[in-house]
């Protein structure tokens, strides 16, 4: 049994999920949050599905052990590769994940052309392919792996020539093709939003998932009577698999406030290595991967995207 006073658990391959945390803090200022940055294994976008599942399982177990009442998989790659596995592995825990905002992008495009910037693993995955086939029929969707973008954010490089030289070759073909909506399909990328927006210009909409995920978390917590009711501002605890000093330095830069970090390694068991290599559990198909849980009323949950 979980209590409303327990923290929200969040994790990402690194510090990109702090873009989601910012929105959670704005919408849920009283909630305590425990965040795990798996920076020693960042980026996930170039790792195998088996390794991603293994890391996600170990981190989820750690966050559960730290008393989390809900776990937010604040990583598009991890959500795509592992969230169904996590829900089967920890059936008593509510997981909230992300997916590229293909559907809303297809709804708002004027030119009928959309760009998706995501990690190599997300771009090549079945989940993104299914989203495009299901929600963007009749729309031209150009997918591009954002090689090097995660590393820029993890180093705290958010502006300048190096960022422009990295994003330029990714965005130029989209602009030449007439794309008028760009989906940021990785939680690291919103930290590069200013440079991306300046490059594509004001006529191109940029979509990310942070605010909509925060609303989804509110819905899940309210449904389970776990919404915190404290009058005081919630705490923030940053755990990491990498050296704490550097993680804290970059986190402070990203959030614009002093942040301390604790190095806490999570280790698994040998049998887990075999478990994550098995096929998806029965009933899990491409059409059900990384989808938010339906509300008890049967209503469609809020889409994990937001136009800004």
* CA gap 124, 145 in Å, rounded: 9
Site of tokens 């792996």: 145
Site of tokens 């690291």: 188
The string of pLDDT tens digits covering residues 171-198 is 999 999 999 999 999 999 999 999 999 9
> Is the Cα dihedral 156, 159, 160, 165 positive or negative?
positive
Does pLDDT of 302 surpass 70?
A: no
pLDDT band at 268 (very low <50, low <70, confident <90, very high): low
Catalytic residues: 75, 186
- pTM as predicted: 0.86
What domains lie within the chain, and their CATH numbers?
8-99+210-307 (3.40.50.1860), 102-208 (3.40.50.1860)
Does pLDDT of 263 surpass 90?
A: yes
CA atoms within 13 A on the CB side of 102: 24
168: its two tokens? 């330029």
List Cβ neighbours of 132 (8 Å cut-off, separation of 6 or more): 102, 141, 143
* CA gap 277, 263 in Å, rounded: 28
The string of pLDDT tens digits covering residues 204-228 is 999 988 888 889 999 999 999 999 8
Does pLDDT of 13 surpass 90?
A: yes
The string of pLDDT tens digits covering residues 26-85 is 999 999 999 999 999 999 988 999 999 999 999 999 999 999 999 999 999 999 899 999
Interior angle at CA 166, CA 161 and CA 168, nearest 5: 90
């Amino acid at each position: 049994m979980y209590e409303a006073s327990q923290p929200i658990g969040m994790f990402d391959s690194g510090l990109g999920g702090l873009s989601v945390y910012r929105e959670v803090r704005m919408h849920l200022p009283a909630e305590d949050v425990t965040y795990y940055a798996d920076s020693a294994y960042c980026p996930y976008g170039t790792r195998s599905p088996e390794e991603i599942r293994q890391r996600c399982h170990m981190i989820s177990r750690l966050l559960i052990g730290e008393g989390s009442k809900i776990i937010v998989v604040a990583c598009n790659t991890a959500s795509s590769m592992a969230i169904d596995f996590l829900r089967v592995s920890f059936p008593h825990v509510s997981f909230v994940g992300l997916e590229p905002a293909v559907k809303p992008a297809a709804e708002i495009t004027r030119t009928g052309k959309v760009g998706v910037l995501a990690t190599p693993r997300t771009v090549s995955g079945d989940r993104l392919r299914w989203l495009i086939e299901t929600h963007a029929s009749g729309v031209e969707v150009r997918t591009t792996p954002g090689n090097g973008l995660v590393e820029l954010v993890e180093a705290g490089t958010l502006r300048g020539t190096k960022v422009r030289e990295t994003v330029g070759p990714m965005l130029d073909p989209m602009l030449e093709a007439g794309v008028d909506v760009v989906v940021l399909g990785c939680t690291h990328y919103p930290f590069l939003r200013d440079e991306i927006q300046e490059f594509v210009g004001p006529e191109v909409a940029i979509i990310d998932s942070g605010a909509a995920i925060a609303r989804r978390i509110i819905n899940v917590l309210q449904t389970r009577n776990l919404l915190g009711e404290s009058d005081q501002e919630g705490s923030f605890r940053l755990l990491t698999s990498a050296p704490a000093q550097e993680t804290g330095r970059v986190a402070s830069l990203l959030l614009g406030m002093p942040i301390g970090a604790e190095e806490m390694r999570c280790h698994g068991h040998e049998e887990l290595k075999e478990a994550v290599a098995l096929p998806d559990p029965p009933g899990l198909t491409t059409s059900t991967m990384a989808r938010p849980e339906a509300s008890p009323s049967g209503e469609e949950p809020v889409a994990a995207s937001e136009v800004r």
